[in-house]
């Protein structure tokens, strides 16, 4: 049974469920769908560890918050671009490119900071576990056991991580500004069985027919669909800082100007966005490139669900509160409906005033 379909009492009872969670480079309370459930599940854990340079919504619920070094305080290599390009998620450079950067500055002497990998190494060391690290993009067949008595350096870990690369890391280090390497990879003839995709699978066609049957179903006059968008200055819930958000730390609810005018709204007005199970307070703005009938908001904003309606101007509004994980989800994986979520706009709660733009 998909997790999304499990009853609430099972999800929160702990029977056969996760009792401890280590969250690294993530913010589940802000990013997971059905935020109130997520926060309740985090509070019910026996142990929650958050590795985070910011006091995120998840960090506020954690039993332990581990502060990692920031990017300028540790060595790094641009391997993530290779992951993005290989996974086909519209990321990464066109040609092969690589860059190694040493640490630029040291943290203050009194700072108790570690690299993220050091946390997991230290836990394994104390548990008497042997760790190994494999080279290559997704971990090669050959792995190298780590010395569990003498902690390696971050540079040594990067060497192991990049082992087997077409261009050795030592060569990358010779070019402080990075290098591009035009691809010379060729696809060879198929070796082994000639597998084929099955087009128009009966289950897929049945699902598409169900979707199509609802495309022209009558909808309330005030019905809108919430869709996602990105903001240039943040990556999910990270780096929403004053030096880049230019005085606007919140995530506006963008509508087509005609949809705003139809509702007697102007950019900067405070409204209530209401979905099937929950609602959020947010600020509307105009985007003429949107199709009419849509509301477009960036995800992973907002704080804890009990407090964010009072702090939406400073923290933004959590779209994950408007997404359910047990009402509409994909039947094979349990992935909930994360976009095109039906919503409507209501007047702002009492006490919230307009912030209409003067620009």
Question: Residue 317 is part of which domain span?
Answer: 220-347
Q: In what order do the strands lie in the sheet with 47-51?
A: 20-24, 47-51, 64-66
Find the radius of gyration of the CA atoms of the chain: 24
Contact between 101 and 73 under an 8 Å Cβ cutoff? The reply is no
The closest of 211, 223, 353, 344 to 278, measured between CA atoms, is: 344
Residues 249 and 302 in one domain: yes
139 found inside a domain: yes
118 found inside a domain: yes
2 found inside a domain: no
Q: How distant, in Å, are the alpha carbons of 50, 60, 174, 295 from that of 227? A: 29, 28, 45, 6
Q: Tell me, what's the pLDDT at 13?
A: 46
Q: How many CB atoms lie within 10 A of CB 142?
A: 11
Q: Which residue stretches of the chain have pLDDT < 50?
A: 1-14, 357-359
- Report field, pTM of the whole predicted structure over 0.95: no
Contact between 316 and 333 under an 8 Å Cβ cutoff? The reply is no
Contact between 18 and 291 under an 8 Å Cβ cutoff? The reply is no
Q: Tell me, what's the pLDDT at 310?
A: 77
Residues 318 and 226 in one domain: yes
65 found inside a domain: no
Q: Tell me, what's the pLDDT at 139?
A: 58
Residues 238 and 164 in one domain: no
CA distance 114 to 49: 14
CATH number at residue 296: 2.40.40.20
Q: Tell me, what's the pLDDT at 91?
A: 61
Q: Is residue 218 helix, strand or coil?
A: coil
Q: Tell me, what's the pLDDT at 1?
A: 27
Contact between 27 and 57 under an 8 Å Cβ cutoff? The reply is yes
Provide the domain count of the chain: 2
Q: How distant, in Å, are the alpha carbons of 206, 309, 311, 326 from that of 33? A: 26, 18, 20, 10
Q: How distant, in Å, are the alpha carbons of 80, 82, 172, 175 from that of 97? A: 11, 8, 10, 11
Q: Tell me, what's the pLDDT at 11?
A: 44
Q: Tell me, what's the pLDDT at 332?
A: 84
Residues 230 and 328 in one domain: yes
Q: Tell me, what's the pLDDT at 141?
A: 58
Element (H, E) at 315: helix 312-315
Q: Which residue has the tokens 């332990």?
A: 64
Q: Tell me, what's the pLDDT at 318?
A: 94
Residues 341 and 234 in one domain: yes
Q: Which of 131, 161, 181 is the last residue of a domain?
A: 181
Q: How distant, in Å, are the alpha carbons of 200, 215, 257, 263 from that of 344? A: 35, 18, 16, 11
59 found inside a domain: no
Q: Which of 120, 152, 181 is the last residue of a domain?
A: 181
Q: Tell me, what's the pLDDT at 5?
A: 39
Q: Tell me, what's the pLDDT at 328?
A: 85
Q: Which of 129, 161, 181 is the last residue of a domain?
A: 181
Residue 2 CA to its chain's centroid (Å): 21
Summarised one tens digit per residue, pLDDT across range 78-122 is: 887 777 766 665 565 667 788 999 999 999 989 999 999 999 999
63 found inside a domain: no
């Amino acid at each position: 049974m998909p997790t999304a379909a499990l009853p609430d009492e099972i999800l929160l009872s702990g029977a056969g469920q996760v009792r401890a969670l280590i969250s690294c480079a993530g913010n589940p309370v802000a990013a997971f769908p059905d935020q109130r459930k997520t926060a309740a599940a985090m509070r019910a854990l026996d142990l929650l560890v958050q590795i985070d340079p910011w006091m995120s919504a998840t960090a506020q619920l954690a039993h332990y918050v581990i502060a990692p070094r920031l990017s300028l305080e540790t060595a790094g290599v641009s391997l993530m671009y290779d992951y993005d390009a290989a996974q086909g998620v519209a990321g990464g450079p066109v040609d092969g490119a690589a860059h190694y950067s040493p640490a630029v500055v040291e943290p203050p002497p009194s700072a108790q900071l570690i690299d993220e990998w050091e946390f997991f190494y230290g836990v394994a060391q104390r548990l008497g576990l042997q760790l190994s690290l494999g080279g290559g993009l997704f971990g090669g067949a050959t792995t190298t056991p780590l010395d569990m008595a003498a902690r390696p350096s971050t540079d040594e870990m990067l060497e192991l991580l990049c082992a087997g690369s077409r261009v050795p890391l030592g060569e990358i280090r010779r070019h402080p500004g990075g290098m591009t390497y035009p691809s010379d990879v060729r696809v060879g003839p198929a070796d082994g069985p000639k597998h084929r995709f099955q087009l128009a699978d009966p289950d897929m066609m049945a699902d598409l027919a169900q979707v199509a049957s609802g495309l022209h179903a009558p909808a309330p006059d005030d019905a809108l669909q919430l869709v996602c968008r990105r903001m240039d200055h943040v990556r999910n819930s990270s780096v929403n800082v004053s030096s880049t958000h230019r005085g606007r730390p919140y995530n506006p609810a963008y509508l087509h100007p005609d949809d705003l005018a139809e509702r007697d709204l102007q950019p900067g007005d405070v409204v209530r966005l209401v979905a099937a199970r929950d609602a959020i307070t947010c600020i509307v703005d105009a985007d003429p490139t949107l199709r009419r009938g849509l509301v477009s908001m960036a995800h992973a904003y907002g704080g804890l669900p009990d407090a964010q309606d009072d702090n939406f101007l400073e923290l933004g509004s959590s779209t994950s509160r408007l997404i359910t994980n047990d009402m509409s989800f994909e039947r094979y994986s349990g992935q909930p409906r994360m976009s095109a979520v039906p919503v409507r706009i209501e007047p702002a709660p009492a006490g919230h005033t307009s912030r209409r733009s003067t620009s």
